[in-house]
């Protein structure tokens, strides 16, 4: 979906910018060996995996602003450093999350064209990730020094699993200094196209009645042209609680209660979330006995959440799996200790758009 959004954004922007390009656009020879700086606005779209994962704080899309500084070596090659201040969103709570993106890119400008390609590396402070990006952009000069540009990038994750974000940005570039190279002969500007648009975003609501322009395609809308949402139950994450039990015991020791407290804090932070506590046992003893032992362990953690941390009993369910789902195979002491554990599966109500 993000690839499609980026592709559409660039496809729409290129002809618009081409129509407004300054007649005396500097040539590649005039731009080489010159520094440039840019300011831009950005719209960043995290991978859907991030919106469903507590490790990424359920990040979803949001805007940003930033700066660039670069140097053009020759007709084709340039290098730049860019910085963006981003304001993304927590999908569960709607809270804004602010952070930075730092990047370094190599840029390749196509011959006889204002189109360029980029590739580079980035650091994202919001979710503490690194990425490699590739992208395409277009620069339309307004005069010898000032240009408008639009760009789309794909960010491939280099840590915290496999993920791919996307981003689009647009802004102004200033090329420092001047060149003595001869400027190309001015070309006549094409006549601006003025299409008659009645429903720009194609949602079925005319522009003069549409209170939510640019509704994503495929979303069901109301009479005002705004997306219709529904609440659905969705499993949003799983977390292993590091509660390790003594042999043949379902008692949670004082030293083992820190993760239970962290789970309680998480449930208080997301009051619509529910949790299923899973109890597990090692392969020592009879299956029936270990089944009952795992159920007692799950109940012991649930009782802690209710009696010590004030979590409503209705938000907690428990289940025991005996030794049917071992974390570590084998009959070693380490395997038995690893399998005597508790896991928690968290479910929450999330707003999702209704599709047409």
What is the DSSP annotation of 39-70? EEEEEEE--HHHHT-GGGTTEE-EEEEEEEEE
Contact 99, 124 (CB under 8 A): yes
What distance lies between CA 162 and its chain's CA centroid? 12
Mark out the alpha helices in the chain (DSSP H runs).
2-20, 28-31, 48-51, 258-269, 287-307, 333-339
Q: Is 42 in contact with 153 (CB distance < 8 Å)? A: no
For residue 59, give both structure tokens: 């990040």
Contact yes or no for 295/305 (Cβ under 8 A): no
CA distances to 3, 126, 204, 340 from 134, rounded to whole Å, are: 12, 20, 35, 46
Chain-centre distance for alpha carbon 190: 39
Please answer whether residues 42 and 193 qualify as being in contact, where contact means their C-beta atoms are separated by less than 8 angstroms.
Answer: no
In whole angstroms, what is the distance from residue 210 CA to residue 208 CA? Answer: 6
C-alpha dist (Å) from residue 114 to 3, 67, 135: 22, 20, 14
How many Cβ atoms are within 10 Å of 75's Cβ, its own excluded? 13
- Nearest Cα neighbor of 263 from 345, 348, 349, 160 is 345
> Mean pLDDT per segment of 10 residues, for the chain of length 356 residues?
46 44 72 94 94 89 96 94 95 91 96 93 95 96 93 95 94 86 63 68 81 82 80 58 67 78 85 87 85 88 90 91 86 80 74 72
Rg (CA), the chain: 28
Q: Counting beta carbons within 10 angstroms of the beta carbon of residue 88, is it exposed (0 to 12), middle (13 to 18) or buried (19 or more)? A: buried
């Amino acid at each position: 979906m993000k690839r499609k959004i980026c592709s559409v954004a660039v496809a729409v922007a290129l002809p618009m910018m081409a129509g407004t390009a300054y007649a005396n656009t500097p040539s590649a020879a005039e731009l080489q060996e010159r520094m440039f700086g840019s300011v831009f606005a950005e719209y960043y779209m995290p991978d859907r995996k991030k919106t469903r994962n507590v490790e990424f704080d359920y990040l979803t899309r949001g805007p940003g602003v930033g700066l660039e500084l670069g140097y053009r070596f020759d007709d084709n090659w340039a290098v730049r450093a860019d910085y963006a201040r981003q304001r993304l969103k927590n999908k569960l709570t709607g809270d804004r999350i602010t952070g930075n993106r730092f990047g370094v890119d190599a840029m390749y400008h196509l011959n006889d064209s204002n189109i360029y390609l980029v590739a580079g590396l980035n650091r994202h402070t919001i979710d503490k990730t690194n990425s490699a990006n590739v992208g395409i952009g277009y620069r339309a000069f307004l005069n010898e020094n000032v240009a408008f540009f639009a760009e789309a990038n794909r960010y491939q994750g280099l840590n915290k699993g496999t993920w791919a974000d996307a981003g689009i940005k647009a802004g102004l570039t200033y090329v420092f200094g001047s060149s003595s190279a001869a400027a190309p002969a001015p070309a006549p500007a094409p006549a601006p196209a003025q299409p008659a648009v009645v429903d720009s975003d194609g949602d079925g609501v005319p522009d003069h009645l549409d209170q939510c322009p640019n509704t994503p395609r495929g979303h069901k809308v109301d009479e005002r042209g705004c997306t219709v949402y529904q609440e659905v139950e969705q499993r949003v994450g799983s977390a292993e609680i590091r509660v390790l039990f003594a042999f043949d015991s379902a008692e949670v020791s004082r030293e083992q209660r820190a993760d239970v407290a962290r789970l309680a804090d998480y449930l208080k932070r997301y009051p619509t979330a529910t949790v299923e506590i899973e109890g597990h046992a090692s392969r020592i003893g009879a299956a029936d006995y270990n089944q009952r032992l795992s159920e007692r362990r799950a109940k012991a953690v649930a009782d802690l959440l209710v009696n010590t941390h004030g979590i409503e009993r209705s938000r907690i369910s428990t289940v025991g799996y005996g030794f049917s789902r071992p974390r570590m195979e084998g009959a070693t002491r380490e395997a038995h200790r690893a399998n005597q554990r508790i896991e928690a599966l968290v479910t929450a109500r999330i707003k999702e758009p209704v599709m047409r």
